[in-house]
Amino acid sequence: MSKNVVVIAGPSGSGKNAITSVLMQRYPRFERLVTATTRTARPGEVDGADYHFFSQERFDQEMSMGNIPEHRFVPALNTYYGIYKPDLDTKIKAGKTVIAAVDIEGARYLKEAYNALTIFIMPESLEQFKGRLRTRNPEWTQKEFDARMKITEDELRMHAPQYDYRIVNADGALQESVEQMVEILKKEGYTL
C-alpha cells in the first residue's frame, strides 16, 4: 500500500497547522484533508477549503451515504467533525500526499483504512501552552478556555502515546519541528 496519508494531530494551538502550512509550501504534492463539520464558518473561512460546512441534516445524509466514515461530537462546542471521504479519495487519486488534522479516532481510522502514518504535535509544557491559547483566542470565555484545556490535557495524557511519533513543538522552534517531520516522513518512505 503506498504511503499517501499522514495524520498530524495535536491540541488546538500546538502548531500543527503552522507545520502543515510549511510542509505544503515546501512540497507541492502535500495537500490538506478538508474535513466536514456542523459548525458555522468563522469570518474569512471558505467552504471546501477550510472545512466542508454542512447543516446537521446534510452531515447525517453524508454519513448514511458512507461519505463520512468516521466522526466525533464535541459536546463542549456542540459540533460534529468528520473525515470527508470524497475529499480524501479525490486527492489520493490525483497523486497527492494528504495531511489529515484529525483526533485519535480519525487517526485510528486512517491508519486502518489508508495505512496512514500518525504524528502528534506536543506543546513544550502545559503552562506555556495555556499562555499560547489565551493569546490566540482572547474572545474565549473562561468556560470555553477551561473546556479546551480539559480536551488538551486528555489528549496529552491518553492519546499522544498512541501515535507512531511525537514531536515537541516549542515556542519559536517551528523550523526545527518541520525538519523533524521531514526526517520522519523520509524514514517512513513518503515521497516528498
User: What does the buried/exposed string (b/e) look like for 39-51 if buried means 16 or more CB atoms within 10 Å of the residue's CB?
Assistant: eeeeeeeeeeeeb
Q: Is the dihedral of CA 6, 11, 14, 20 positive or negative?
A: positive
Read off the pTM: 0.86
What is the homologous superfamily of the domain 5-187 according to CATH?
A: P-loop containing nucleotide triphosphate hydrolases (3.40.50.300)
The residues, any chain, with a CB within 8 Å of residue 146's CB and separated by 6 or more, are none
C-alpha span between 55 and 90 (Å, rounded): 22
**Residue ranges covered by each domain of the chain:** 5-187
C-alpha span between 154 and 148 (Å, rounded): 10
**How many of the other CB atoms lie within 10 Å of CB of 81?**
23
The residues, any chain, with a CB within 8 Å of residue 54's CB and separated by 6 or more, are 36, 37, 38, 62
What's the pLDDT tens digit per position in 138-161?
888 898 888 888 888 888 889 999
Strands (DSSP E) contained in the chain are 5-9, 30-32, 36-37, 52-53, 71-74, 79-82, 97-100, 117-123, 165-169
Render each residue's pLDDT in the chain as its tens digit; 192 residues. 568 999 999 987 788 999 999 999 999 999 999 999 999 999 999 999 999 999 999 999 999 999 999 999 988 789 999 999 999 999 999 999 999 999 899 999 999 999 999 999 998 888 888 888 888 888 888 988 888 888 888 888 899 999 999 999 988 899 999 999 999 999 999 998
